[in-house]
């Protein structure tokens, strides 16, 4: 009975979080759908993660990932992406294999550093495959008596195959947030996409407020380790070639094994 009540409570909380995300997303219907998120270099060994990242805008994207930390330095995962054009329903868009390497022990050096690699294969015939890779950097800093967390992702993307066009591109993603309480940490995020070469697309830049938090299963009355992580961001475009607004929402279930 206790397990059933706890599971029901988890369902209600997840539903409330998703519902709040949908309400906020209604203000972002003119944005381009992309898989935008901040990746951490920290790996939790022997932890299974089920992650769902939603981006709402002129189109919509839903990315579902299953990841597992095999050691304290290696995490592997698979993902499936669904996309929807304006006025249409979701369709299967691509699948990917990804890997995380934690290159430094947490807290030992000036910053925590990792490496991310992803191979993406699209569902549409003739579209190019893509290789994404780059460093992940994270650091905690005390500012004015407050604990803050700063994360930087610098990811290079190179299309491959007969349908590939244009030079590589760089996606810079940064997040800074106040560690006020594990359940609620406000801050801001920035995303910038730049083509590394001639004849590419115009640069795009976005920035906006975010908040994140974590709820442990035991806090919900469930006698189990693990918990629920969530974060949400509303981004405004900074250039004429960037869509004016984007809303991103992510929820992740963690199961230490």
Task: Write the DSSP string, 72-139.
Answer: SSEEEEEEEEEEE-TTS--EEEEEEEEEEEE-S-TTTSSSEEEEEEEEEEESSTTPPEEEEEEEEEEE
Q: What is the CA radius of gyration of the chain?
A: 19
pLDDT of 227 = 96
Question: Which one, of 120, 156, 119, lies nearest residue 136 by Cα?
Answer: 156
Which domains does the chain show, CATH number per domain?
2-256 (2.40.160.40)
pLDDT given for residue 6 in this prediction: 45
pLDDT of residue 8: 56
Splitting the chain (257 residues) into consecutive groups of 10 residues, what average pLDDT does each group show?
Answer: 47 48 38 71 97 86 96 97 82 93 95 97 80 97 93 93 76 96 96 81 90 95 93 91 86 96
């Amino acid at each position: 009975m206790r397990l059933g009540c706890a599971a029901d409570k988890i369902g209600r909380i997840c539903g409330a979080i998703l519902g709040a995300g949908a309400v906020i997303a209604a203000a972002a219907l003119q944005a381009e759908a992309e898989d935008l998120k901040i990746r951490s270099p920290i790996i939790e060994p022997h932890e299974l993660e089920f992650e769902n990242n939603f981006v709402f805008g002129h189109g919509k994207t839903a990315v579902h990932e299953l990841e597992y930390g095999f050691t304290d330095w290696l995490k592997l995962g698979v993902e499936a992406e669904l996309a929807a054009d304006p006025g249409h329903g979701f369709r299967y868009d691509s699948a990917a294999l990804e890997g995380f390497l934690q290159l430094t022990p947490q807290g030992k050096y000036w910053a925590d550093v990792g490496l991310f690699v992803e191979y993406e294969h699209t569902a549409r015939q003739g579209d190019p495959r893509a290789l994404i890779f780059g460093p992940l950097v994270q650091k905690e800093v005390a500012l004015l008596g407050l604990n803050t967390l700063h994360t930087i992702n610098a990811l290079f993307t190179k299309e491959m195959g007969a349908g590939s066009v244009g030079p590589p591109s760089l996606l810079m993603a940064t997040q800074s947030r106040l560690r006020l309480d594990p359940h609620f940490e406000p801050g801001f995020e920035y995303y910038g996409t730049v083509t590394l070469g001639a004849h590419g697309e115009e640069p795009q830049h976005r920035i906006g407020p975010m908040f994140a938090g974590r709820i442990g299963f035991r806090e919900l009355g469930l006698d189990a380790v693990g918990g629920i992580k969530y974060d949400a961001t509303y981004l405004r475009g900074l250039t004429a070639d960037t869509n004016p607004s984007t809303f991103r929402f992510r929820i992740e279930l963690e199961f230490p094994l």
